[in-house]
Amino acid sequence: MLQKFSLAVAGSVVTVGLLGSSAMAAGFSGEYAPSEWTLTNTNTNGFVNTSGVPGSISLTGGNNGGSGFGQTAYTTAAKASGLVSFNWDYTTNDVDGSSFDPFGYILNGTFTQLTSNGLKTPQTGNFSFAVLQGDTFGFAVNTTDNILGAANVVISNFAAPVPEPATVAGLLAIGALGAGAIKRKRQTTNG
């Protein structure tokens, strides 16, 4: 009886370990290819350029002629839990500088600014943040006024979590072991 309990506990630990592991996808490909992302313009006319994939994408914010605040967002769902990391290279054509067209990331609808305000010079950086499987995340360029020039950011060295290939194989193996145990029990009972 104790041996069966120990096997059940060990199986549960292995299952939890397999389900909790994730690998990293490098670049905008596979489970994070452009077809897996959504471009959303809220009161603006920004766009995304995916001609650099899988290595990079370029996100340009809005400049629609003065209709107030707007946001250009490029988002997707996290395929597994883990860290999202990327490099960013920001420039703005807004004559008033970066204060009027900030860049940042979005996590479940919350925008977090990464650029510094008040600069007219290019800005660069690298950043990482944690996601849970199913979280909506991405990148956004906001515009406070939609006039006097748009900002652009190039995202490169993008990496995000994907399920481990071993997860599926591990679950299949556990299922096969369980089926084998049931079959053996039936043979012992019937035989």
DSSP-assigned beta bridge partners for residue 104: 113, 140
Domain assignment present for 184: no
Residue whose token pair is 């883990």: 82
Domain assignment of residue 71, yes or no = yes
- Domain ranges, residue 146: 23-163
For position 51, which CATH number holds?
A: 2.60.120
Is the residue at 136 inside a domain? yes
C-alpha count within 13 angstroms, C-beta hemisphere, residue 137: 25
Q: What pTM was estimated for this model as a whole? A: 0.77
Would you say residue 190 lies in a domain? no
Average pLDDT of the residues of the chain: 86
Tell me: the pLDDT tens digits for 65-92?
A: 988 999 999 999 999 999 999 999 999 9
The per-residue pLDDT for 64 is 94
Split into its structural domains, the chain has a count of 1
Considering the domain boundaries, does residue 45 fall inside one? yes
Alpha-carbon distance of 40 to 140, in angstroms, equals 9
Is residue 187 included in any domain, yes or no?
Answer: no
